[in-house]
Chains A and B, each alone.
Chain A
Amino acid sequence: MNMSKRIRSKISRGSGELAILSLLAEQPLYGFEIAKQIGERTGGALNFTLASLYPLLYEMEKRGWVEGRWQANQAGRDRRYYRLTATGKKQLAPLRQEWLSFFQALDSLAGVSHG
């Protein structure tokens, strides 16, 4: 893997973590809903496929940031709902700060405005 790919992969992973944690901070959701809401709320800028979502979700679950539990959705189908854990809540603020600093650094370097 070359350097630019590695950086891209880290950026997409980091942004994915922040997006998932932010969504789950509002309410518990299952995988399909997470992907759908992220796509809708970012206007398609962030798009999760099944292949990109679940390895990340499972990794976050292993770290104890989120917790998955099977329960029926509104249609009565069993879905694995993820909710934020106390550890996940603690991660959210520093992660937000990290991204803010990252964009501010880009702003000052490239004159890119993001507001």
Chain B
Amino acid sequence: MVLDMNDVEGLRQGDRSCFENIFNEYSPDLYVVAYRITGNKSMAEDIVQDFFVKLWVNREKLSIYKSFRYYCFSAIHYASLNAVRTKYRNTELSEELEDTFSIEREMEQAELSEKIRSALDSLPEKCRIIFLEACVEEHSYLEIAQKYDLSVNTVKVQVSKAYRILREKLTREQLFIFFLIFLKSE
């Protein structure tokens, strides 16, 4: 994360530009967490909005005991759970959500999703579209085959091609990161 503690310190002192930096840096990931729990775009956006308003209002009383990132993720995690509880009173929440460790999993997941971004962009266009439709939007291979006038087998091949390329790209990106770390430690 490019965010440094200066922004958090600036936030404490009421610097609005620091606050905006923090918002830009964290809000998309936090939105994803809220969306994953609530499964609802407007609920997730409300939760994120509410969190940042409270963050600003209580900036002077901010107490962080793990890390600022953990603070944000756990706040969103619990706010989302509460929102879901309020909305679907009689629904049992899955054990995974109730688990505090899932906050750390969410944080790791957010990192991974950023890493995969450029890898996804590097997929050949046809491959990427099929991968997204099949895996992200969860359309069946048959649907996709019919939509693009392809055989089901071609779709399967494209999807596995996408996974292979993603793995390769992720490897390269990781090496690049290792390289950076190596340079830094020199």
A and B together in one complex: no
Chain A residues at the B interface, C-beta cutoff of 8 Å:
none
